[in-house]
Structure 1
Amino acid sequence: MSSFRILLVGGGLLCAISAIYVRNLQDGSAVFPTLRHFQPRDIRIRDAEGAIRRFAEGLQFKTVSRSNGSNETEGWDAFSGLHAHLTHSYPVVFSKLRLEKVSEWSLLFKWPGRDSSLKPVLCISHQDVVPATSESAWTQHPFSGARAGGYIWGRGAQDVKITIFAMLEAVTALLDQGFQPERTLYLAFGHDEEVGGGHGARAVADVLRKRGVQLAFVLDEGGPLLVDGLQPFIRDKAVALVGTAEKGYVSMDVSFRGKGGHSSLPPVDGTQAVTQLSRFLTDMHAHLPIARIVPPTLEFLQAVGAASSNPVISFVLARCASWPLKPLLALFLARQPGEVAAGVRTTVAVTGVTTHPAAGNVLPSLATAQLNFRYLPGEVGDFAERYLQNLLPRHADVEVKVHERHEMASAVTPVTGSAFAIVHQAVQETLAKDRVVATVPFLLTGGTDSKHYQDLCGGQTLRFMPVAMNRTAGDLKRIHGMDERVAEGAFLDAIRFYIRFFQLALGGDE
């Protein structure tokens, strides 16, 4: 999952809420629905030890995608080895489901349903992982698949080989039980999600598109189950963060030309290319895009209010769609740490600066900054270009180049729809156990493979990873970081989630 960040309300918000509490907010009523409560089910896993072992062995394959100039995946022998391991580990799935390899390395399974008039459901994961830096500093080697201390260690334990193995374990269990789905299920496991999915998920989507496949909805990776809640606002409940939208992705180069020459004779009139670029970047950070609360951040705040045991928070956040609270909250949240601010504005970040020529005693005549925009849902396609044009000096020798990868934000999947209800029920029945779980929609600020399937499902996409994590204990920092791991019990719970999710989403005899 590409640099995934979860929207969390900053601790200082409590002060703002208290100040606004006395205002007249009767015009803003809650729109987040009251979600039905479901009792947990006892879903037993017949071969729990074998399931853990198969998953741990799958983490040993170094299926790395590396972000570089070409955004290529490496280690094809590792992918081949992973495919052989999956074939050996899940013979029932490979014999009874239809498997197609797309772009050689992406896997597309089809489990035909009995009623061809029903639109299929697509579940997504990906085989590739990000590189593991400082391997010697890891507690367990990142590609060892070690089992220690009740955890399974290795790159992909959280992001996101865990869902590949949990899904295949769940399908195996249902096949063994004789489950016959009414609705067709597709499983798509891409091989290059960490670098955009351009060769994997995009090609799989093209295959389905050419065959005229229209999907009921898509379930992809996304938010986890936060067992420690959303401190300080939800303390007494776990929180299942279900992404109902993800931001867009636009990169651009801004290049300034100026006077070159020898470094011993620098110009003093501000015309040097690097000087012009630095002034522009300073101006850009002083005039960031306007902060605003749009869905699904609006629903996120309302859901947090509904789940909070603090009456002030509940009262105010239930009315966060009202004036003047909505614009005031947007301004406040925009001044919080990055993971909060990113949920209320289209962000722009400098991801690289280059100069030409590059030499120790030469003044560059060209200075370029690479900028990456992450669009809020509803943003117009040429927003980045118009935003930059308003900041660029009129008479400068400057060029703006848009990169080929240009993705708009996804549609927002409604929390009142059947897809959200199915995920919520599966969460309640398999992940709640001895704890209360609040299902909370949110906005993914990173990207997933689901973006390639949006036209096939009418934008009906949910992004949830049924894996228990503890934010307070630092579990989220392990994603793309050091010592990535997952508790063995959390992996088994993920299997239980998918078993129940498939029953609910596909219909048929339980």
Structure 2
Amino acid sequence: APFSESRIIKILIQHELVANYSHLFWVQGSQPDLLPYLLLAHTDVVPASESDGWDAPPFSAKEIDGFIYGRGTIDDKSSVMGILQALEYLLLKGYAPRRGFYISLGHDEEVMGYMGAVNIASVLKQRGVQLLFVLDEGFAVFDGLISGLEGPAALIGTSEKGFATVKLSVSMIPGHSSMPPSETSIGILAAAVKRLEDNPMPRLFGYGPERGTFEHLAHKFSVPVRFIMSNLWLFSPLIGWVLERKPDTNAFVRTTTAVTMFNAGVKENVIASLAEAYVNLRIHPAQSLQESTVGDQRVKIELIDGSDPLPVSSADEKSFGFQIIKKTVLEIFSTVTVAPGICVGNTDSRHYKDLTSDIYRFIPIWFKPGDTQRFHGINERISIKNYEEIVAFYFSLIQNCDIQKLPEPHSSVHEL
């Protein structure tokens, strides 16, 4: 009867609002001695305007040729709805989980999560909660995006790069443009910015989780490349050199620096008294948050915000979280190869590092040629079929997490 179903759900699930707009769910397990886990997603999205050239209004969820168009279909409403719909299906089937778990839906991930995820993590910490693992957005299923790779690959993020926002500024006495000094504040700062771009941070391929990515994928490349990938002890410098040739792969091999804002001047005939530039750094796990130098004492360097890279989560045969996620991926996407990796962007998951030693970043979405440009871009979309796969993924994941422990290493995956 509807009344009894509602009552069962109330007993199993507790919900609370955090920081006015974020949601925290606790799904009670029948075996409280089993350590719980956490599924993460966020409800906020970046801005979008129909005037940008969308094929459908960006907040319409309009279906065109088997795809749902809309801001957030990739980042990250598909996870939000996939998790909740999977849970609803399980409850309607009468499934009662053995291992309890949390669902955290933050409302401000796109602006660093300082209100949503930070406060939810604080609530859990105050209650003494320890988590078996955390699963958040991050990597996806890549098909045709890794040059030379035979077949699709599902990458599970075991860490993410740190970040820093640094302000560079130059101050000097203003004057009239008809009598300019030999160097202006704008010229000095522009030269400093050019030195940053001409002298990138050192190449660090092989010193972070990206090494494991290529070790896991080596057997899916053709013979010459396979040999190189299988002998990283010798060929790491070569692979690093190849990867740094393109911006999208260069991000995996070093701390990147990007000048994102430049402000100076108030009038066309006045020498600017102040010139400012903002630099965004994404820090490789082999490095830590630290000040950069631009080789000019006249340039003031100020750290505005920043965070060290996240610790690398386990991905071996004894890693419960990684192996359960991998098993579920292979159940839903049977043709893929699974590998660990490092996320170049930041997620809400970093705010939960005090609650667990294992944080993973994966969303069961297909990325094919052209799709990466839709991420935070125009015509963000997801296929209806892929959304069904997302629901199926979380539906299976929740059930797979109910085992008490992994089988001994080298056992068949079917024993899970």
Which of 103, 109, 133 pairs up with 1:217?
Answer: 133
- Structure 1 match to 2:117: 201
Could you tell me which amino acid in structure 2 is paired with residue 238 of structure 1?
A: P
Shift of 1:295: 2.2
- Structure 2 match to 1:300: 213
Could you tell me which amino acid in structure 1 is paired with residue 212 of structure 2?
A: E
Matched, 1:451 2:350: yes
Distance 2:10 2:382 in 1: 26
Contact 2:162–2:289 under 8 Å retained in 1: no
Shift of 1:266: 1.4
Distance 1:223 1:104 in 2: 29
Contact 1:423–1:501 under 8 Å retained in 2: yes
Distance 2:52 2:145 in 1: 33
- Structure 2 match to 1:423: 325
Residue-by-residue CA offset, 1:65-118 (whole Å, 9 max, x unaligned)? xxxxxxxxxxxxxxxxxxxxxxxxx99867741001000100000001122222
Matched, 1:367 2:275: yes
- Structure 2 match to 1:65: none
- Structure 1 match to 2:408: none
3-state DSSP of counterpart to 2:386: helix
Shift of 1:169: 1.1
Distance 1:479 1:333 in 2: 22
Shift of 1:392: 2.7
Q: What TM-score results when the alignment is normalised by the length of structure 1? A: 0.75
- Structure 2 match to 1:273: 185
Which of 378, 381, 384 pairs up with 2:289?
Answer: 381
Distance 1:304 1:375 in 2: 24
Shift of 1:482: 1.0
Distance 2:83 2:274 in 1: 51
Shift of 1:333: 2.2
Distance 2:128 2:185 in 1: 52
Distance 2:168 2:162 in 1: 19
Could you tell me which amino acid in structure 2 is paired with residue 343 of structure 1?
A: F
Matched, 1:407 2:307: yes
Shift of 1:135: 3.6
Could you tell me which amino acid in structure 1 is paired with residue 19 of structure 2?
A: S
Structural mapping, 1:83-232, within 5 Å = 96-135=12-51, 137-226=53-142, 228-232=143-147
**Number of residue pairs aligned between Structure 1 and Structure 2:** 397
Could you tell me which amino acid in structure 1 is paired with residue 296 of structure 2?
A: P
Could you tell me which amino acid in structure 2 is paired with residue 374 of structure 1?
A: R
Shift of 1:264: 1.9
Distance 1:95 1:264 in 2: 78
3-state DSSP of counterpart to 1:406: strand
Could you tell me which amino acid in structure 1 is paired with residue 166 of structure 2?
A: M
Matched, 1:329 2:239: yes
Q: What TM-score results when the alignment is normalised by the length of structure 2? A: 0.91
Distance 2:324 2:10 in 1: 27
Shift of 1:399: 2.1
- Structure 1 match to 2:295: 392
Distance 2:45 2:378 in 1: 13
- Structure 1 match to 2:224: 312
Shift of 1:124: 0.4
Shift of 1:179: 1.8
**Structure 1 gaps, min length 5:** 1-89
Q: Alpha carbons of 1:135 and 1:261: their partners in 2 closer, same or farther (altered >3 Å)? A: same
3-state DSSP of counterpart to 1:457: coil
- Structure 2 match to 1:466: 364
Distance 2:396 2:170 in 1: 56
Shift of 1:415: 1.8
Distance 2:366 2:59 in 1: 22
- Structure 2 match to 1:482: 378
Percent of residue pairs identical: 32
What is the root-mean-square deviation of aligned Cα atoms in Å?
A: 2.0
**Structure 2 gaps, min length 5:** 1-5, 405-415
Distance 2:106 2:63 in 1: 26
Residue-by-residue CA offset, 1:314-357 (whole Å, 9 max, x unaligned)? 2210111x13x2223223322x11111110001111111112x5
Matched, 1:249 2:147: no
Shift of 1:229: 3.8
3-state DSSP of counterpart to 1:315: helix
Could you tell me which amino acid in structure 2 is paired with residue 447 of structure 1?
A: N
3-state DSSP of counterpart to 2:378: coil
Shift of 1:136: 6.3
Contact 1:259–1:273 under 8 Å retained in 2: no
3-state DSSP of counterpart to 2:59: coil
Of Structure 1 and Structure 2, the greater strand share is in 2
Shift of 1:461: 1.0
Distance 1:327 1:145 in 2: 46
Matched, 1:438 2:347: no
- Structure 2 match to 1:16: none
Q: Alpha carbons of 1:93 and 1:219: their partners in 2 closer, same or farther (altered >3 Å)? A: farther
3-state DSSP of counterpart to 1:222: strand
